[in-house]
Amino acid sequence: MNRFLVLILLAANTLFLLSQEKKELRYSVSYVAASVVYINSGREGNIAVGDTVKIFREKSQIGTVIVTAVSKKSSSAQILSQIVSISMGDAAVLEKETPAEQPVTSSVIKSDQDTIRSSSAARSSDKINVNISSNENIVTGRASVQYIGTLAEDSRLNLSQPSGALRLNIQNLYNTGLVFSMYGRTSYDLSDIYSRYGKASRIRNRLYDFSLMTGDPEAAFGAGVGRMSSEYVGGMGTFDGGQFVYRYNNFAAGFLAGARVQDRWIGVDGEETKGAFFINAKIGPDILHQYSGTFAYGRQMVKGNLDREFLYLQNFFMMGSELSVYESSEFELNDINNGVKQKTFKLSNTFLSVNYYPVEWLSTNVGYDGSRSIYLFETMKSFSDTLLDKNIMNGYRAGATFRLPYFMSFSGNISYRTKKGDARDAYTVSGSYRISDILGSEVGTDIRYADIVGVYSNGKNFTVDLDRTFFYKLSVALRYDYYNYTILSLKQTYTTHTATINSSYRFTRSLYSSLAVDGILDNTMNSLRVYAEIGIRF
């Protein structure tokens, strides 16, 4: 009976495949930000999460992306590989099985044939959308085995650490519309000083994300639970708990609550809790033309006592593929004055970034980062509310990239931080030149120079990169870095030479490996570092 059932299923599947035909669907890249590529089509163009799209420039394939999110008229994708940088206007090609059209009988007159064909195409499109929406367990992610090692002249800095990592995203979990996300890492420390963090075990478990969330951004209600972070209240960071959202037209309101994440173990800490209420408004027809603004009130508690209380503002403008603006700010509602806690309204952190792409050959960015130390009343901690650089109290930055013919580009960047207390002003001015596929050799090079005037030192940095991709499978990159700096207080100059080799090999569409080795030579100590990884994408 079971064999008979298997034969029936195989026959049905064969008939279904025979009724399919592979079509080449063509789109274009509308915007590129970091490792995210936006495509100018979505559900209406038969794009679905998990689709692999090839990126072409002229007649040459320059990269591959995988679709991670889809709206009605646009979609976003993550870069899997690229020979040269993917840019706006590149062609995006998707090969996809679609139901074959049925032949029209000759008895139908020509005037009716066009009507029947158009109706058939419409029905085919409907079938595609139905198949996409009924897909179960759309799984993306990667699993890998990694090794990190350091060999230094000072044995106290030696490190030998094999580990395993898993990133997992399952959309439409068992056809429920839920999204399950996980990112974790387990390592085994072989070093002699494995107990340097106060634990006797050589095993370290880190869980960065483990959440279950509703997946429809247009549904009236949304919820999530687990180890997660909120898109509405970035100032809360990662927490163990849950979030609830109610949406009405272009507005959303909700709350989140949970416990502070323990960095070095998986358990939940019930003594330190956090929570927030938020309101969000989104206006715009699609992902490339929209405004999103959020206002939130947050609190952190320790054993029922107030640890921190703040307001959070976040605004994002996307005005086509040319201009985007992001801003976030936090305001502390309490402060310490002469040892006494008092009500206040003080800006603790602000971040502003403006990206402007006026023409295809020019992209620009300006921004400002400002932060103040935040005092936590119960845990008696004081920390800088930025992950960029704990020494940067007020920093301005600007940059521009010029894309030239023959795969050439030139970039210039400048950052400036104002002084704090007795520390002086500091700035960094840098420029880089990049050329890919030199004289058709598929070899690329990047040259960078930076003049650094730091708070406590002056330095000059020079870097040269060479890279090449072989047969779309093997990528090799060589780097030499020269850094010469003077520590002002010691009036002494140091020089550091770093030689690096990076390589990656794609065995199959899913199986890959990476290796990075660098040697560091300087005035104080020499060392060798190794990073190796082999994994599978799914």
pLDDT digits (tens, 9 = 90+) for 248-278: 999 999 999 999 887 655 666 677 899 999 9
* Residue 45 pLDDT exceeds 50: yes
Mean pLDDT of 375-389: 44
At 453, is the secondary structure helix, strand, or coil? strand
The per-residue pLDDT of the chain, averaged, comes to 79
* Residue 422 pLDDT exceeds 90: no
Q: How far apart are CA 191 and CA 342, in angstroms?
A: 48
* Residue 116 pLDDT exceeds 50: no
| Burial of 72 per CB tally in 10 Å (0-12, 13-18, 19+) | middle
Residue 246 CB neighbour total at 10 angstroms? 14
Mean pLDDT of 129-153: 74
pLDDT computed for residue 390 by the predictor:
34
Cβ-contact 298, 309 below 8 angstroms: yes
What are the tens digits of pLDDT across the range 160-181?
999 999 999 888 888 888 899 9
pLDDT computed for residue 266 by the predictor:
62
Residue 266, phi then psi, degrees to nearest 5: -90, -20
Handedness of CA 93, 95, 100, 106 (dihedral sign): positive
Q: Which amino acid is at 330?
A: E
Helix, strand, coil percentages, rounded to 5, for the chain: 10, 65, 25
Dihedral angle, C-alpha 305, 311, 316, 317, nearest 10 °: 170
pLDDT computed for residue 462 by the predictor:
96
Token code pair at residue 263: 């960095």
pLDDT computed for residue 296 by the predictor:
95
* Residue 349 pLDDT exceeds 70: yes
| Burial of 110 per CB tally in 10 Å (0-12, 13-18, 19+) | exposed
Map out the domains of the chain as residue ranges: 19-101+118-133, 220-333+347-356
Q: Which residues pair with 92 in a beta bridge?
A: 27, 55
CATH H superfamily, domain 19-101+118-133: Rod shape-determining protein MreC, domain 1 (2.40.10.340)
pLDDT computed for residue 110 by the predictor:
35
Q: How far apart are CA 407 and CA 124, in angstroms?
A: 40
What number of residues does the chain have? Answer: 538
The rounded percent of the chain whose pLDDT value lies above 90 is: 33
* Residue 104 pLDDT exceeds 60: no
User: Which residues contact residue 11 at a Cβ distance below 8 angstroms, ignoring those fewer than 6 apart?
Assistant: none
Residue 333 CB neighbour total at 10 angstroms? 16
What are the tens digits of pLDDT across the range 457-487?
899 999 999 998 887 788 899 999 999 999 8
- Comparing C-alpha atoms, which of 481, 485, 484, 483 is closest to residue 458? 485
Residue 474 CB neighbour total at 10 angstroms? 13
pLDDT-derived band at 281, boundaries 50, 70, 90: very high
Q: Which residues pair with 232 in a beta bridge?
A: none
Angle at 521 between CA 513 and CA 433, to 5 degrees: 65
Q: Which residues pair with 332 in a beta bridge?
A: 310, 346
Token code pair at residue 181: 């996300």
What are the tens digits of pLDDT across the range 10-33?
444 443 444 445 567 889 888 776
